[in-house]
Amino acid sequence: MRSRVNVAVAGATGAVGNEMVKILESRGFPVGHLKLLASTRSAGTVLPFRQKNERVELLEEESFKDIDIALFSAGASASKTYAPIAAASGCVVVDNSSAFRMDPQVPLVVPEVNPHAIAQHKGIIANPNCSTIQMVVALKPIHDVARIKRIVVSTYQSVSGTGKKAIDELLNQTRATLDSEPAECKVYPHQIAFNCLPHIDVFMDNGYTKEEIKMINETKKIMEDDSIKITATTVRVPVILGHSESVNIETEQKILPHEVREILSKAPGVKVVDDPGHFQYPLAIHAAGRDEVFVGRIREDPSIENGIDMWIVSDNIRKGAALNAVQIAEILLEKYL
């Protein structure tokens, strides 16, 4: 194992990129040189890292010389252009965009679920969609015991998943509405303050949104089981940080709520919060800033033979994006560099 590696963060000024930098520092990742990359909009600004201010540089073809690991979160088009260039220059890319996730040559990895897939990488490893990551962390341990046949998921996704500009839009619209002024919509097609939008990413010909299709396809790829039937409805809600999900599963073998609680209480990366009698269940405001995937409201669904309902919440910027990417980098460092 290398004692120090040079790391680049592409999209370092964004909501996820900035969190990646903080997590590299807080987990003591052995960074030799850190290169922060963004567009012309913020090249030249500085970000703190280990008590120093690091300058943000322009993301360009030459950016990856002498870099060992590049964490990308600058959007799919920047990834499509620069990730292959970075990989060709000899570094391993962990890409948070959707650009390569379904590419059969590219492993799609959640460390608690399929860390072995990292071994297959050819220079690029994809970080899954935020709402998919938290769901598979909670469902894989159940799948291993009772085999999940079908998943019905509805999400309640925070605006930070869209980026910093969406957080500003929610706050501005909230202030405007409270002041009885018109809410300006720049990021979303409708007002998000005091509202829910059943629309994340673009609509497809089949009526699903791309976010819903991502959840369906990525779940099968990460769980390495194409036979699981999945349907998803993804909804943007006026929450700043933390995605919540209502998840219904149908299993092949009967599994009872107390057994699910027991399995999940031992599962890596999961914390069971399930004491409705004392109003204890996962909440976005509690998950914000935390690393775990929180699961609660675990109960039997009596409308089908082997059904379980649950409520899954996690910090979409941390486990849903930045933390998952850094965990992949940690495995790379430990086993493959």
Of 14-22, 253-261, 268-276, 296-304, which segment contacts ligand A2P by CB under 6 A?
A: 14-22
The smaller minimum CB distance to ligand A2P, of residues 2 and 165, is found at 165
The smaller minimum CB distance to ligand A2P, of residues 59 and 255, is found at 59
38 binds ligand A2P (CB under 6 A): yes
Supply the minimum distance, in Å, between the C-beta of residue 38 and ligand A2P: 4
**Buried b / exposed e across 145-157, counting CB within 10 Å, b at 16+?**
ebebbebbbbbbb
The answer to whether 260 and 298 have CB atoms below 8 angstroms apart is yes
Selected binder of ligand A2P within 34, 59, 99, 237 (CB under 6 A):
59
CA gap 187, 238 in Å, rounded: 13
Supply the minimum distance, in Å, between the C-beta of residue 173 and ligand A2P: 18
Binding string, 277-316, against ligand A2P, x = CB under 6 A? ----------------------------------------
End-to-end Cα distance, the chain: 7
The smaller minimum CB distance to ligand A2P, of residues 268 and 289, is found at 289
Residue nearest to ligand A2P (CB): 14
39 binds ligand A2P (CB under 6 A): yes
The smaller minimum CB distance to ligand A2P, of residues 169 and 245, is found at 169
Supply the minimum distance, in Å, between the C-beta of residue 127 and ligand A2P: 14
* Tokens 């959707």 belong to residue: 98
CA gap 133, 12 in Å, rounded: 21
Question: DSSP label at 277?
Answer: G
Residue 3's closest CA among 35, 24, 34, 31?
A: 31
In this structure, the strands spanning 270-272 and 293-300 are parallel
Binding to ligand A2P, residues 110-169 (CB under 6 A): 163-165
Selected binder of ligand A2P within 74, 113, 142, 287 (CB under 6 A):
74
Secondary-structure breakdown of the chain: helix, strand, coil percentages, each rounded to the nearest 5: 35, 25, 40
Cβ burial of 296 (10 Å; 0-12, 13-18, 19+) is buried
Selected binder of ligand A2P within 22, 27, 42, 291 (CB under 6 A):
42
Binding to ligand A2P, residues 215-274 (CB under 6 A): none
Catalytic residues: 130, 243
* CA-atom Rg of the chain in angstroms: 20
* Tokens 């159940």 belong to residue: 142
Contacts to ligand A2P by CB under 6 A: 11-15, 17, 38-39, 41-42, 59, 74-75, 78, 163-165
